[in-house]
């Protein structure tokens, strides 16, 4: 089982350029082929659905039970202590990109099917493990499956937390384009951070043009040696300290043609922005500190409304409800494109949130002539707590782990919202930290081994309960 996982993790299955037969890039297709060939070698029936997704299946029966996993992963940033595209076992933990999200669970599920086949277990339903290749970028894979494939009578998705996810927030990705004022465009020639809405960016970079006012200030304060002296000038250091920033997260370099500022934070998943540390906030804070009252409308408004964990309150869009939790906002990316600043935001919406009001309030806080485009919108998922699926899976969880059962409200989005009668079930145990979407993604070896047992029992009990 570990060998299967290792081989899968060695392919960098990050979304790539579409090619014929490989809608999400060559490496993604290679990963899918490898997974299905393994399933085939275990005697399972397989089908590759045009490189979008595929499935492995065991058993006979008119209808099927689904297990839904994904083989794509998010890119890696700096800060890994282990090689990200390899499997490392250290001190009882497995490390590497995808080990928890979601290649580890996919391999655990594959071995559940293998075990059912090897033990010749007789079930009333077929068991179909569907693996997709675009979960991290909008789940076009599962939409493709749903439009062509057989819909299982019930499905679980090993791509979130135990005991079970009863509610998933709505997801809204926005691209907000803000006119950059001359204060910004005259001095900044490059500004870029983050490349995805659903990740908290851990690095942000900007370059000031040679001989621009900030360039000259950095040069003067450096004394010809230490460009970082700019952060110790009174106005800058006071503003940054007042706003709780650590100067160690900032660095400056003077080059012949430009001066570069870099800020660093901690990556994380957009559904819990407070667990990360957003490098964009720091970069814009520096611009604001440097310009003071005259930082310009673009920087002023973007900083005041978006560069803080309190952004939902500041924008007047904060809300929460009992069934689905609180709204969150992640400022995932920013880029200067000619005379426009392009901001990418990821919002996770409780049932009570109104998408149109949210867009309106965000736009009200932006400078005039800003524009907003909805890149992606997925509705909330709310599972029936008293339905067979939820009750059966919770019973299996309690019996196999002895753990307390309750229903988790999540900001994460999984395949569960793509098809009827599906819920996310594991693989992260309560209080375990798996660092998904971050450096040193990990999964306890003991937990990985438990997954196989839980999912095996889940299939057997669902088969009985669904009749
Ligand atoms: Zn995932």
Whole-number Å distance, alpha carbon 155 to ligand 1 midpoint, is 16
How far does the centroid of ligand 1 lie from the alpha carbon of residue 357, in Å?
A: 29
Q: In what order do the strands lie in the sheet with 328-337?
A: 250-254, 258-264, 203-209, 188-193, 328-337, 340-349, 170-179, 371-378
Alpha carbon of 410 to ligand 1 centroid (Å): 13
Ligand 1: distance of its center to the CA of 133 in Å? 11
Instruction: Using the mean position of ligand 1's atoms as its centre, give its distance from the Cα of residue 246 in Å.
Output: 32
Residue 142 Cα to ligand 1 middle (Å): 13
169 alpha carbon to ligand 1 midpoint, in Å? 15
| CA 414 – ligand 1 centroid, Å | 7
Give the C-alpha separation, 112 to 351, whole Å.
35
Query: What's the gap in Å between 99 CA and the centre of ligand 1?
Result: 10
Rounded to the nearest angstrom, the distance between the alpha carbon of 396 and the centre of ligand 1 is 22
| 92 Cα to the center of ligand 1, angstroms | 22
**How far apart are the CA of 415 and the centre of ligand 1, in A?**
9
CA of residue 270 to ligand 1 center, whole Å: 12
Cβ–Cβ under 8 Å, residues 196 and 107: no
Q: Ligand 1 centroid vs 67 CA: distance in angstroms? A: 13
The alpha carbon of 105 and the centre of ligand 1 are apart by a number of angstroms equal to 10
Task: State how far the alpha carbon of 119 is from the alpha carbons of 112, 122, 149, 315, 340, in Å.
Answer: 11, 9, 27, 57, 61
What CATH number does the domain located at 171-378 have? Answer: 3.30.70.360
Is the pLDDT score of 380 beyond 80?
yes
CA 145 / ligand 1 centre spacing (Å): 17
Q: Report the pLDDT value the prediction gives residue 411, as an integer from 0 to 100.
A: 80
Q: Is pLDDT of 436 > 80?
A: yes
Distance 135 CA to ligand 1 centre (A): 7
Ligand 1 center to residue 450 CA distance, Å?
Answer: 19
160 Cα–ligand 1 center, Å: 7
pLDDT digits (tens, 9 = 90+) for 69-83: 999 999 998 889 999
Give the distance (Å) from ligand 1 centre to CA of residue 260. Answer: 35
Instruction: Compute, in angstroms, the gap from residue 239 CA to the centroid of ligand 1.
Output: 38
Q: Rounded distance, CA 189 to CA 419, Å?
A: 46
Distance 282 CA to ligand 1 centre (A): 28
In the reported structure, the alpha carbon of residue 87 is separated from the centroid of ligand 1 by a whole-number distance in angstroms of 18
Where residue 324 falls among pLDDT bands split at 50, 70, 90?
confident
Compute the distance from residue 423 Cα to the ligand 1 centre, in Å: 13
Cα–ligand 1 centroid distance for 457 (angstroms): 22
* Residue 216 CA to ligand 1 centre (angstroms): 46
Instruction: Name every residue whose Cβ is closer than 8 Å to that of residue 130 and which is 6 or more positions away in sequence.
Output: 53, 54, 55, 66, 67, 68, 69, 142, 145, 149, 155
**pLDDT reading at 213 higher than 90:** yes
Second CATH level (architecture) for the domain 2-169+381-466: 3-Layer(aba) Sandwich (3.40)
pLDDT at residue 467 greater than cutoff 80: no
Above 90 in pLDDT, residue 35? yes
Give the Å distance between the CA of 107 and the centre of ligand 1.
14
The reply to whether 171-378 shares the fold of 2-169+381-466 is: no
Q: Does the structure show a pLDDT above 90 at 367?
A: yes
What are the pLDDT digits (tens) for 392-419? 999 999 999 999 999 998 887 899 999 9
Helix (H) / strand (E) containing 90 = strand 88-90
- Contacting residues for 404 by C-beta, under 8 A, at least 6 apart: 163, 398, 430
Beta strand extents in 350-396 (DSSP E only): 371-378, 381-382
State the pLDDT at residue 459. Answer: 98
pLDDT tens column, 257-313? 999 999 999 998 899 999 999 999 999 999 999 998 889 999 999 999 999 999 999
CA of 286 to the centre of ligand 1 (A): 34
Residue 209's pLDDT is 97
In three-state secondary structure terms, 54 is strand
HSE-up of residue 194 (Cα within 13 Å, Cβ side): 33
Task: Map out the domains of the chain as residue ranges.
Answer: 2-169+381-466, 171-378
């Amino acid at each position: 089982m570990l060998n299967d996982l290792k081989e899968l993790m060695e392919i960098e299955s990050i979304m790539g350029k579409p090619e014929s037969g490989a809608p999400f890039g060559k490496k993604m297709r290679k990963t899918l082929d490898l997974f299905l060939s393994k399933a085939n070698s275990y005697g399972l029936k397989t089908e590759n659905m045009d490189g979008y997704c595929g499935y492995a299946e065991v058993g006979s029966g008119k209808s099927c039970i689904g297990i839904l996993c994904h083989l794509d992963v998010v890119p890696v940033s700096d800060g890994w202590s282990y090689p990200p595209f390899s499997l490392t076992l250290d001190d009882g933990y497995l490390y590497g990109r995808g080990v928890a999200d979601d290649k580890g669970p996919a391999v655990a599920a594959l071995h559940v099917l293998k075990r059912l086949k090897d033990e010749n277990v007789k079930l009333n339903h077929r068991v179909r493990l569907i693996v997709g290749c675009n979960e991290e970028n909008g789940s076009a894979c599962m939409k493709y499956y749903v439009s062509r494939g057989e819909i299982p009578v019930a499905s679980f998705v090993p791509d979130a937390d135990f005991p079970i996810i009863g509610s998933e927030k709505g997801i809204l990705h926005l691209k907000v384009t803000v006119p950059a004022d001359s204060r910004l465009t005259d001095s900044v020639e490059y500004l870029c951070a983050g490349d995805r809405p659903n990740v908290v960016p851990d690095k942000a970079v900007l370059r000031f043009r040679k001989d621009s006012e900030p360039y000259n200030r950095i040069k003067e304060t450096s004394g010809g040696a230490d460009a970082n002296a700019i952060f110790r000038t009174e106005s800058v250091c006071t503003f940054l300290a007042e706003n709780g920033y650590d100067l160690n997260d900032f660095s400056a370099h003077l080059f012949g043609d430009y001066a570069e500022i870099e800020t660093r934070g901690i990556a994380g998943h957009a559904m819990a922005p407070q667990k990360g540390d957003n490098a964009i906030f720091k970069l814009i804070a520096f611009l604001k500190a440097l310009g003071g009252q005259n930082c310009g409308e673009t920087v002023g408004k973007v900083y005041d409304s978006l560069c803080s964990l309190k952004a939902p309150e500041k924008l007047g869009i904060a809300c929460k409800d009992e069934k689905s939790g609180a709204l969150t906002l992640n400022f995932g990316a920013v880029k200067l494109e000619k005379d426009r600043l392009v901001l990418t935001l990821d919002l996770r919406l409780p049932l009570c949130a109104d998408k149109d009001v949210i867009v309106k309030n965000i736009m009200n806080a932006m400078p005039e002539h800003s524009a907003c485009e909805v890149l992606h919108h997925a509705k909330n998922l709310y599972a029936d707590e008293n339905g067979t699926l939820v009750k059966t899976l919770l019973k299996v969880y309690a019996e196999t782990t002895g753990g307390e059962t309750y229903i988790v409200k999540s900001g994460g989005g999984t395949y569960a919202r793509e098809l009827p009668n599906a819920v996310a079930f594991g693989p992260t145990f309560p209080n375990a930290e798996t660092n998904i979407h971050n450096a040193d993604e990990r999964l306890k070896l003991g937990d990985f081994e438990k997954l196989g047992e839980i999912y095996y029992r889940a299939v057997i009990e669902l088969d009985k309960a669904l009749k």
